[in-house]
Amino acid sequence: MPTQNRKPTSKKPKASRTTQFLAIFVLIVIVITIFYSFANTNSPRVLTNTEFETYLNSEVINTVEISPLSGDSNYRAYKVTGEFINDGGEYITYFANDSELDNAIARIDIFNSDAETSNDITYTFIPASNYNFANIIFIVLIAGGFIFMIYFMMRNGANSNRQAFDFGKSRAKISVNQKTTFKDVAGAEEEKQELQEIIDFLKNPKKYVDLGARIPKGVILVGPPGTGKTLIARAVAGEAKVPFYFVSGSDFLEMFVGVGASRVRDMFKQAKSHSPCILFIDEIDAVGRQRGTGLGGGHDEREQTLNQLLVEMDGFGHNSGVIVIAATNRVDILDPALLRPGRFDRRIYIGKPDVKGREAILKVHARNKKMNPEVTFKEIARRTPGFTGADLENLMNEAALLAARENRHQIELNHIDEAVDRVLMGPAKKSRVFSKKERTFIAHHEAGHAVVGLKLDNASIVHKVTIIPRGEAGGYNLMLPEEEQAFLLTRQNLRERITGLLGGRVAEEVMFNEISTGAHNDLERATAIARAMVTQYGMSENLGPITYERDKDTVFLGRDYGKQSSFSENIATEIDKEVRGIIHECYEIAKVLIKKHLELLKTIAHYLLEVETLTKEDIDEIVETGKLSRWDDVLITELDAKPEPKETKQTKEIKQ
């Protein structure tokens, strides 16, 4: 798939969000304070001393409040405030010295002592205070708010500048004390041996330098997903006890051209400063894809990043102490310049483990689990061909979950057996309701696979067959080859595998003179094998030993888009005829076998309908004895447990 450029995302830390909240809170307090300070639009009326005396004489003043403003005991000014009688409005006036104030007070006393006046003036003297607390609070709030705003703006500016410079920094994460070692890696003995000299070089570089040896600058780990490429890279750092830099290929790419190249420069700069170390680039195909490919031309950011990576790998000298390890499962799309000697000098293929490797991996993942001592990992390994290390780890975890679900204290073999089915096909759907006709079809279909597997030497052996639905399948059979063949398959092997896959469809046709959709997946797999025999393996008698098609899984858009076929339309017709001929021939062989062993087919289908699941041991017993003892014993026990019917009057008369 084409790599999508990620937009830069900056997640604000919690402290920054708290600072913004406090800044907003302080601003709100300042605004409220200013609002209340200036909200009173009815300001008091300012009077001169003469106007004040005139209003006193006119009997329009209701109250008088006198308070000192400032000054010492020799010279002090006074503020006089109060209300008018008629409209309740406020006034304010000032007296410059004590003598003027004394005259005003005397005038008020005379006014209040006059019996003819209708209203006395309320007179109050407020002693002077050393400071005005409210004004101080107001000034402090405003000053503090401005200081905080200036600090906040300066801090944000510094953070913005720092983030702008950090944008081009490497996203590689360093792990100094790597605890993963080769003891945690199982099933890859040859791969570990290939990496052993790199570990030795990181521990003792002088031995290699004195001999003039050149340790590879880069090692690329190639293999399917889940085979342990990242685990092995961590184990190398753990064995050598050096820092481990981890970065993903997608961490270099951004929407801005040049950012990835800057991050590559910074990453190698950091790695050199911590040498000796391991620099691990996971999924390097995200940045190392061939330049100039894809619809519409190249990708400027990715290509500049790749160019910088090539320059940096050429830039640091040999035996510098920095070993670059990369991992990918798409080595076919990498740029050739990345794989040439002097950059990634060594390529190590990490494939799916064989039966011994799977056994060792299972033991590693069972270290911290409570297992029944009678469980043998060799048998589990035989049942899991094609499983990767990640699949086996998931298998053991599912078994532990199933044991915990049943409140068991240890993992039993049945838990592991169920976990294998869950990993391959999904959980069992026992609640799904099938009609009697559907169950009969499914039972005979699965029995057909079992019969063909038993009677053909090279067909896959049925280790388990069930009519309990899983996933989208109404039934399921675990078919494994008698001997695991990792490399070579003969034409007879492939033909008999196709025959085994067609056994279910043939059983339906023979038993019911009807076919169903249950053989959909079987036909798909059989057709794929037959087509590969003709177009890839050169096993066609008429077309000869010629390869007409490549594995389409390695094709990516841009490199092979619009490429013409390497054969003509006549050859395409011949290919279709050959594929159809192989399928028809295997179908007839399966039909002969089913008709020949029809009674065995019916017996297996009968017990499938009764017990729903048969193991390899059950099938072998049915072949040898014609019955299943564990089910027959249950029926006999149930019959013995039934009470004898009571003897009635009529039965006595009949006996007599």
Beta pairing, strands 90-95 & 76-83: antiparallel
* Pick from 90-104, 266-280, 291-305, 502-516: least confident: 291-305
pLDDT tens-digit readout, 437-471: 888 888 999 899 889 888 887 666 777 888 888 76
Can 446 be counted among the known catalytic residues? yes
| Percentage of residues of the chain with pLDDT beyond 90 | 14
Which one of the listed residues 191, 301, 303, 446 is annotated catalytic? 446
pLDDT tens-digit readout, 575-617: 999 999 999 999 999 999 999 999 999 999 998 888 888 888 8
135-170 residues labelled b (16+ CB within 10 A) or e (exposed) = eeebeebeeebeebeeeeeeeeeeeeeeeeeeebeb
**Residue of 321, 322, 331, 327 whose CA lies nearest to 290:** 331
Beta pairing, strands 613-615 & 461-466: antiparallel
**Residue of 179, 183, 585, 614 whose CA lies nearest to 361:** 183
- What strand order describes the sheet that includes 173-175? 173-175, 244-248, 277-282, 322-328, 218-222, 344-349
Angle at CA of residue 492, ends 487 and 498, nearest 5°: 95
pLDDT tens-digit readout, 314-355: 766 565 778 889 999 888 888 888 888 888 888 889 988 888
- At position 256, the amino acid (one-letter code) is F
- At position 562, the amino acid (one-letter code) is G
- What strand order describes the sheet that includes 63-71? 45-46, 90-95, 76-83, 63-71, 122-125
Whether the CA torsion 510, 513, 518, 519 is positive or negative: it is: positive
Tokens matching residue 80: 């006089």
Burial group, residue 585, by CB count within 10 angstroms (0-12, 13-18, 19+): middle
Query: DSSP string of 72-131?
Result: -SSSEEEEEEEEBTTT--EEEEEESSHHHHHHHHHHHHHHHH-TT-SSPPEEEEPPP-S-
Q: How confident is the model at residue 144 (pLDDT cuts 50, 70, 90)?
A: confident
The full 3-state SS of 498-561, as one line of letters, equals: HHHHHHHHHHHHHHHCCCCHHHHHHHHHHHHHHHHHHHCCCCECCCECCCCCCCHHHCCCCCCC
246-271 residues labelled b (16+ CB within 10 A) or e (exposed) = bbbbbbbbbeeeebbbbbbbbbbebb
Q: How confident is the model at residue 400 (pLDDT cuts 50, 70, 90)?
A: very high
- Does the pLDDT value for residue 518 go beyond 80? yes
Tell me the mean pLDDT in the region 365-380: 88
How many CB atoms sit inside 10 A of residue 56's CB?
A: 17
pLDDT tens-digit readout, 245-299: 888 877 776 655 667 777 888 888 888 888 788 889 888 888 888 876 554 455 6
Phi and psi angles of residue 146, each rounded to the nearest 5 degrees, phi first: -65, -40
pTM assigned to the model: 0.64
Determine the pLDDT at residue 260.
73
Q: How confident is the model at residue 648 (pLDDT cuts 50, 70, 90)?
A: low
**Distance, CA of 519 to CA of 442 (rounded, Å):** 10
Rounded to the nearest angstrom, the gap between the alpha carbon of residue 214 and the centroid of all alpha carbons in its chain is 39
- Does the pLDDT value for residue 158 go beyond 70? no
- At position 133, the amino acid (one-letter code) is F
**Distance, CA of 572 to CA of 565 (rounded, Å):** 10
Determine the pLDDT at residue 134.
58
First to last CA, the chain: 89
Determine the pLDDT at residue 48.
79
How many CB atoms sit inside 10 A of residue 42's CB?
A: 8
Rounded to the nearest angstrom, the gap between the alpha carbon of residue 22 and the centroid of all alpha carbons in its chain is 36
pLDDT tens-digit readout, 3-54: 344 434 444 444 555 666 666 766 776 766 666 555 554 567 777 777 777 7
**Distance, CA of 380 to CA of 43 (rounded, Å):** 94
**Residue of 483, 488, 425, 481 whose CA lies nearest to 453:** 481
Determine the pLDDT at residue 66.
78
More confident residue, 379 or 21: 379
DSSP 647: P
642-652 residues labelled b (16+ CB within 10 A) or e (exposed) = eeeeeeeeeee
Tokens matching residue 253: 């790419």
pLDDT tens-digit readout, 547-581: 888 755 444 444 444 444 577 888 889 999 999 99
265, 253 in Cβ contact below 8 A?
no
Q: How confident is the model at residue 169 (pLDDT cuts 50, 70, 90)?
A: low
Rounded to the nearest angstrom, the gap between the alpha carbon of residue 200 and the centroid of all alpha carbons in its chain is 35
Dmax over CA atoms of the chain, in Å, equals: 150
More confident residue, 514 or 639: 514
* Mean predicted lDDT score pLDDT of the chain: 77
**Distance, CA of 329 to CA of 352 (rounded, Å):** 12
Task: Tell me the range of 67-76, 124-133, 310-319, 344-353 where mean pLDDT is highest.
Answer: 344-353
* Alpha-helical regions (H) of 328-435: 336-339, 355-365, 377-382, 389-405, 413-425
β-sheet bridge partners, residue 371 = 411
83, 60 in Cβ contact below 8 A?
no
* Pick from 492-496, 583-587, 623-627: least confident: 623-627
**Distance, CA of 105 to CA of 89 (rounded, Å):** 21
**Distance, CA of 606 to CA of 592 (rounded, Å):** 21
